[in-house]
Structure 1
Amino acid sequence: MGARSWWLMIAIGLGIMLNPLNSSMVSVAIPDLQQAFGLDFTKVSWIIFSFYIASAVAQPVMGKASDLFGRRKIFIMGLLVAFAASLFAPLSTSFGWLIVFRVVQSIGTSMMIAVGMAIVRVHVTEKQAIALSVLSIFLSGAAAIGPFIGGMLMHWWDWQAIFLVNLPFVIGSLVLAWRVVPKDGRPSSERNGTSVRQWIARMDPLGIALFTGGLITLLIGLLSAKSSGHLSLTNIIVGLIGIILLFAFIKQQLRTSSPFIPLRTFAQYPSLTWVNVEFMLMNMLFYSVFFGLPSYLQTVRHVSEYHTGMLMLSLGVCSLAASPIAGRWVERSGPRPALIVSALLMTVGSIWLITLNEHSPVVLVSLALAAFGISNGLNSVGMQAALFRSAPTSMIGVASGLFLTSRYIGTILSSLLIGVVMGGHFSYHGFRMLSVILTVIALTLVVISKRRRQEISPRQQTKVEQAS
């Protein structure tokens, strides 16, 4: 690869890392945000919910929008949106305004991650596997070191720093992208004679509205009930509205010709369905630990932000170290063995958390984090390989979008699980109950992984070949 290709990857990498970086840094800031705005744990959890809900919706939408307006335009626009959100978020006078800027930040970073990989695929024609692996390091590395960076920033400054730290990365990516990302050709709407109104219709705005409204309304109903300590008529009505909206979303997706989430795909390819279910459960478990453990350490064990960040670093380091090993293992033996070991490690880590008591040395937490970190490195590679084996080439783009959506639904469910179990106060007993639930999820993943077929079934393979 030439020098221009490397600069292109750096430009894109600095941009796409902002989404996982900002989703992970905030885990260490939760206790400080509770104190700063006088909120309980359930309410402050919306700093996590809002980011993932916005990402789950924005990424597939922006992927479609890039075909209308051009990938370079969407990427640079995303940088500008992220810059504005990161600059104004520290000035928030209330938690409501902070949530608004957090959502805007999520949309901006999603604009970049939705098209960044595509830009590299199109414009780096030599050694694409190396190029994509470099971008994977930006993505996984940012998520891995996020709690460590967040811990350092909280130790030396305050919660505002987790937003301001984005500015140098945004500026660096913007300067490089402006110079090295090739300009877009004629938009698809012009090439195909499609109007902007027709392209907007293809984005399925009704489906997006039903999905977003149903998910948010259902979460508000559930979390409000848990926070208040009783189930009121208002909570029931709000929750039912959310369920109705989600049912309407499913019905609308099955009828529309251009669905936001093509649900019929799951019926046509059963193995693809199980890949997404497994990936969702893995992320639900992993991010329950990722977000729950820092609050446990700081609130229950009174560990400083600095030392919490240092402990969480073991999770990221083990994840990064396991990824290249997983790549060679999956290449040689397929995804099934790596995913079985990953699920077993998650089980061991969850059981280890149950055994910890209020007086256990906090250094023992790092052993569980190491198990979860290695597990994450294995499943990040194994699940991607399983996806490629389950989806035909002709629909790999749609399959990847569904795969990413499953990840964000899993992270949303993790935050919901923590909020429901903990309520308004993070306690030792609540954390132990959370660990028991995570053990059940991990054992479920062991069963799913062991039942996985090493190769696609003959019937499924026929479908793949016909579709390709």
Structure 2
Amino acid sequence: MTSKLLKGPGRDTQPSATAFDRHLIAPMILGSVLNPINSSMIAVALVPIGIAFGAPPAETVWLVSALYLATAVGQPVIGRLVDMYGPRRLYLVGTALVGVAGLMGALAPTLGVLIAARVLLGFGTSAAYPAAMRLTRSEAERTGQDSPAGVLTALAVSGQTVAVVGPALGGLLIGVGGWRVVFTVNVPLSAACLVLGALWLPRTRKESAAGDRGVDLPGMALFTAMLVALMLFLMGPRADRWYLPVLAAVAAVAFAVRELRVPDPFVDLRVLGGNVPLLATYLRQFLAYTTAYAFMYGFTQWLEEGRGLGASTAGLALVPLSVSALTVSTLTGRREAVRAKLVAGSLLQLVGCGALLLVHSGSPVWLLLAVGAVLGVPQGLIGLAAQTALYRQADPARIASAAGLLRTFMYLGALGASAATAAFFPHRADTAGLHGLALFLVAGSALLLATTLVDRSLGSLTPRETTRTTARASARSTSRNTPGKA
């Protein structure tokens, strides 16, 4: 589908023909951080919520899993809709849902209602990132400048910063107003996104009927069934739930058959299957974020229950992680260097996870802070590298849905982390469970390093020519070859 981005209703002037429209940056970044802020703040709220509702960690972990399951499904679905119908309307609907979910969570009378609010948050926060990637690609095509390193860095750094600052911020908010404040904060954030989006996001006008065959609803339904069945099993693997992986496998086969036969599939498996470098990027995203989220959730719970720290103090203990991740992202953001970032990040992740084996209930505070500082560096490197790799490897016409799938694998990693945390901390976050979790993360980090070292395509990632740049080159060539032209 070809589309044209029109002037937004609040603009007085047209954007520059050769520069990225800076009015887009604020709504893009603010919308994109809604998911990481809700993902991270909940880490320090799990224990207070469990106390409030009398629920053990095996039940409160669904506050994490529910959001990621909804997001894992919602990101590629909404990303495909963004590719078909434009970013503006999906962005506004999604950010409005975030405000509704925030109110619902703030007033929730039971844990079940609170989990439902997290599901709604997952769907609501799924729109902004695919919309931002679509806008970034559209601006590159409009201006003819396919090096949006600054914009991609701003998206990655803002998301990573909020994700790592989230536990500390959540701890402070809980200390001031209780755990319900981590839900209430979504209301003003949603309102700000709606105002900025209505003012500055461009309207989309369809110029062809390429996308008029409609949405691939059966494909989306099968994709949803596959993910839900698989993750429900992983969250509670037992022999009497054998039917869940079987259902996931059947749905996966039906999904593949469907997507290979329809002319306009939800996920173009023909293109995706032939794009091995992009598939490797998705795998690395899964491995990296399994470790990142397992550390954030598992280590934070251990700090509160195994080390005896309060929620506010546990959040502050992760400040070195926040600082190192932000520093690394800021310093390295404008240099793509995808392979170097992935190798360095993988090695440091191995070191940090190994250091968790040295931690115990009597460990000095400096050691706890040092572990967080080390593990913040790979968070700063790997997230940037994966986003840049996707931007170079994905089909430009499906950039939003490809970005949605990148986030899906990120949240599949988060779901895997939740499952691992529940498995190693079945009743209480003790030191033995933390050490078992550390060994699990060491294995995952080693696999991440191996998949990076064998991927030779990472060394050849280069900026693409955009449509406008190609057209200019063609025009110059025609001019040179036309008789009578100088």
Matches within 5 A, 1:233-248: 233=240, 235-248=241-254
CA distance in 1, matches of 2:404, 2:20: 29
CA distance in 2, matches of 1:382, 1:63: 21
CA distance in 2, matches of 1:214, 1:262: 17
Aligned to 1:291: 297
Aligned to 1:146: 166
What is the CA distance between 1:438 and its match in structure 2?
0.6
What is the CA distance between 1:389 and its match in structure 2?
5.3
CA distance 1:388–1:236, change in 2 (3 Å): same
CA distance in 2, matches of 1:194, 1:350: 46
What is the CA distance between 1:320 and its match in structure 2?
1.1
What is the CA distance between 1:206 and its match in structure 2?
2.1
Q: Is the 8 A contact 1:390 1:456 kept in 2?
A: no
Q: Is the 8 A contact 2:80 2:266 kept in 1?
A: no
Selected match of 1:192 from 197, 209, 214? 209
Which structure has the greater CA radius of gyration? 2
Selected match of 2:362 from 355, 359, 362? 359
CA distance in 1, matches of 2:395, 2:205: 29
Matched, 1:179 2:199: yes
CA distance in 1, matches of 2:427, 2:261: 41
In structure 1, what residue type is equivalent to 2:209?
N
Aligned to 1:425: 428
CA distance 1:430–1:261, change in 2 (3 Å): farther
CA distance 1:391–1:86, change in 2 (3 Å): closer
Selected match of 1:55 from 63, 67, 71? 71
Aligned to 2:9: none
- CA RMSD, 1 decimal: 2.9
Aligned to 1:300: 306
Aligned to 2:132: 116
Selected match of 1:20 from 15, 18, 36? 36
Aligned to 1:462: none
Aligned to 1:434: 437
Q: Is the 8 A contact 1:326 1:382 kept in 2?
A: no
What is the CA distance between 1:286 and its match in structure 2?
1.2
Query: Counterpart of 1:348 in 2: which secondary structure?
Result: helix
CA distance in 2, matches of 1:446, 1:433: 21
Query: Counterpart of 2:220 in 1: which secondary structure?
Result: helix
Identify which range, 343-352 or 80-89, moves more after superposition: 80-89
Matches within 5 A, 1:49-448: 49-119=65-135, 121-122=137-138, 128-182=148-202, 184-187=203-206, 191-192=208-209, 198-200=213-215, 204-225=216-237, 231-233=238-240, 235-327=241-333, 330-331=335-336, 334-388=337-391, 390-391=393-394, 399-448=402-451
CA distance 1:77–1:144, change in 2 (3 Å): same
What is the CA distance between 1:426 and its match in structure 2?
2.4
What is the CA distance between 1:313 and its match in structure 2?
1.9
Matches within 5 A, 1:23-42: 23-42=39-58
How many pairs align? 442
In structure 1, what residue type is equivalent to 2:193?
S
Q: Is the 8 A contact 2:40 2:163 kept in 1?
A: yes
CA distance in 2, matches of 1:457, 1:8: 30
In structure 2, what residue type is equivalent to 1:199?
G
CA distance in 2, matches of 1:100, 1:323: 34
Identify which range, 146-155 or 389-398, moves more after superposition: 389-398
Q: Is the 8 A contact 1:78 1:112 kept in 2?
A: yes
In structure 1, what residue type is equivalent to 2:100?
A
What is the CA distance between 1:449 and its match in structure 2?
2.2
What is the CA distance between 1:388 and its match in structure 2?
4.8
Aligned to 2:479: none
Aligned to 1:463: none
In terms of fraction of residues, the more helix-rich structure is 1
CA distance in 1, matches of 2:406, 2:119: 22
Identify unmatched segments of 5+ residues in structure 1: 226-230, 459-467
CA distance 1:283–1:263, change in 2 (3 Å): farther
CA distance in 1, matches of 2:391, 2:88: 27
In structure 1, what residue type is equivalent to 2:187?
L
Identity %: 29
TM-score, length-normalised on structure 1? 0.85
Per-residue Cα deviation, 1:1-38 (whole angstroms, up to 9, x for no partner)? 88994443223322221111111111111111222222
Per-residue Cα deviation, 1:431-460 (whole angstroms, up to 9, x for no partner)? 1100011111112222222223265689xx
CA distance in 2, matches of 1:285, 1:146: 17
Per-residue Cα deviation, 1:198-250 (whole angstroms, up to 9, x for no partner)? 312xxx2223222322332333334345xxxxx453x2234433443334334
What is the CA distance between 1:391 and its match in structure 2?
4.8
In structure 2, what residue type is equivalent to 1:219?
M
Q: Is the 8 A contact 2:160 2:379 kept in 1?
A: no
Per-residue Cα deviation, 1:54-77 (whole angstroms, up to 9, x for no partner)? 112212222222355442222222
CA distance in 2, matches of 1:199, 1:344: 45
In structure 2, what residue type is equivalent to 1:284?
T
Query: Counterpart of 1:301 in 2: which secondary structure?
Result: coil
CA distance in 2, matches of 1:193, 1:457: 32
CA distance in 1, matches of 2:400, 2:127: 16
